[in-house]
Amino acid sequence: MPEQPRIERTHADRIQSERPMIEIRSVTRSYGAFRALDDASLTIREGEFFSLLGPSGCGKTTLLRMIAGFDNPTSGSIAVGGQSMEGIPANRRPTNMVFQSYAIFPHLNVEQNVAYGLKRLKLRGGEEKRRVEEALAQVSLTGLGKRLATELSGGQRQRVALARALVMRPKVLLLDEPLSALDKKLREQMQVELRRLQQAVGITFVLVTHDQYEALAMSDRIAVMFGGKIAQVASPKEIYQRPVNRQVADFLGGMNFVKAEIVEENGASLIVDTLGFGRIKTDKPKAFVRNGGGATLGIRPERLRVLWDNATAKFEVAGKVVERHYFGEITHLIVEIPGLEKPLSVTETNDFGADDIPVGTSIRLAYDPEALVAMAD
């Protein structure tokens, strides 16, 4: 698995307001017979960093543009700050947007770009200048006010776009794939900065992204979308560890899928038989749908650990290494387990020599049965 950006969460466990900021009720957007968004309902809380995550064409940008007012629902309603947005044009909504292309006005310099929306407010006595400078400072662009948009790097253009939106002090800041045009290193740096900025200003951020690591690293909560429908809304940890279905699991990094026979099903748990892992008791997901007598279990590659020498674990499976892929700090091992139709993918950090295990070696893997989660197909 590629490197996961580590984010320092300065206020990771801060108490969040439970007050809803954006309420999306059964919103559908059709283009002829095609439904870009299909009966989507969602509540985004005040002060939350919320991500809409999904592959291209899943409807996430359509939803964002409808919150901004650039598009209107075919049916359903959107409210921001308790006020229905129906019939309110984009220029009178309490939202501001950071565009994917940044949309920096090429005929204006940085200062004029940031002050663009303030001009109309006719602020008195240097208030406009003060707010522009404050916004530039927030995005670390102090001193670049006189630069032309054409003289800025991609990262700087992005900061101008952010400052230009933040200076309006919106209730909600909408970000449309703001980091996709940046290179990897800058992108990871901006993830940290965006998160810090959001916590500093306390504005509700709604981010659209197709990058699962970006969503996991920055968000308080994530909505995963596929084909115009919202598949799951939960915290990053919940989404990653307890995906509701195979599609969500697959989209958020590697996942080993294991077929299982249901032995017993009761209120909160399932007892299943698997070929490789034997009999397992697992939590029953809320929206669990029985697939005949079977179920699908999933385990993340990093939740399987190689057992060295004579080490033993309470739960282990034995297999044979068939492939090895080196990724610097980690190694991917593909391990064939007798009885499993597909070999397991295992991620091991390179501190104990996982990168030296020869292909063909018989090894044992330790796992925690709790890491095996049941999901819909």
Partner 1 sequence: MTVAAEGLPPLRTTRARRNALLQSEPVQGFALISPTLLYALILLVLPILVVIAHSFWTQHYLTIDRTFTLENYRVALTEPIYRDLLWRSLYISLTVSLFTVVLAYPIAYFISFHGGRHKSLWLFLITIPFWTSYLLRVMSWKVILGYNGVLNSGLMGLGIIDEPSTALLYNSSAVIITLTHAWAAFAILPIFVSLEKVDRTLVEAATDLGDDPLRSFLRVTLPLSAPGIISAALIVMIPTVGDYVTPKLVGGKDGVMIANTIQAQFGKAANWPLGAALSVTTMLIVSLMAGATVLIIRTLQRMAR
Sites of contact with partner 1 (CB under 8 A): 68, 70, 89-92, 95-97, 99, 101, 103, 105-108, 112, 116-117, 120-121, 164-165, 168
Residue 70 or residue 315: which is nearer to partner 1 going by CB? Answer: 70
Smallest distance from partner 1 to CB 184, Å: 25
Six-digit token string for 285: 């997901």
Residue 161 or residue 363: which is nearer to partner 1 going by CB? Answer: 161
d(CA 32, CA 293): 40
Smallest distance from partner 1 to CB 225, Å: 22
Residue 182 or residue 216: which is nearer to partner 1 going by CB? Answer: 182
Residue 91 or residue 312: which is nearer to partner 1 going by CB? Answer: 91
Residue 95 or residue 209: which is nearer to partner 1 going by CB? Answer: 95
Residue 26 or residue 101: which is nearer to partner 1 going by CB? Answer: 101
Smallest distance from partner 1 to CB 179, Å: 17
Residue 95 or residue 345: which is nearer to partner 1 going by CB? Answer: 95
Backbone φ and ψ for 216, nearest 5 degrees, come out as: -65, -40
Contact between 240 and 253 under an 8 Å Cβ cutoff? The reply is yes
d(CA 212, CA 65): 21
Residue 1 or residue 103: which is nearer to partner 1 going by CB? Answer: 103
Residue 164 or residue 195: which is nearer to partner 1 going by CB? Answer: 164
Smallest distance from partner 1 to CB 273, Å: 55
Smallest distance from partner 1 to CB 167, Å: 9
Smallest distance from partner 1 to CB 175, Å: 12
Smallest distance from partner 1 to CB 149, Å: 10
Residue 112 or residue 350: which is nearer to partner 1 going by CB? Answer: 112
Smallest distance from partner 1 to CB 371, Å: 44
Smallest distance from partner 1 to CB 161, Å: 8
Q: What is the 3-state secondary structure (H, E, C) of the chain?
A: CCCCCCCCCCCCCCCCCCCEEEEEEEEEEEECCEEEEEEEEEEEECCCEEEEECCCCCCHHHHHHHHHCCCCCCEEEEEECCEECCCCCHHHCCEEEECCCCCCCCCCEHHHHHHHHHHCCCCCCCHHHHHHHHHHHHCCCCCCCCCEHHHCCHHHHHHHHHHHHHCCCCCEEEEECCCCCCCHHHHHHHHHHHHHHHHHHCCEEEEEECCHHHHHHHCCEEEEEECCEEEEEECHHHHHHCCCEHHHHHHCCCCEEEEEEEEEECCCEEEEEECCCEEEEEECCCCCCCECCEEEEEECHHHCEEECCCCCCCCEEEEEEEEEEECCCEEEEEEECCCCCCCEEEEEECCCCHHHCCCCCEEEEECCHHHCEEEEC
Smallest distance from partner 1 to CB 172, Å: 12
d(CA 159, CA 351): 38
CB atoms near residue 162 (< 10 Å): 25
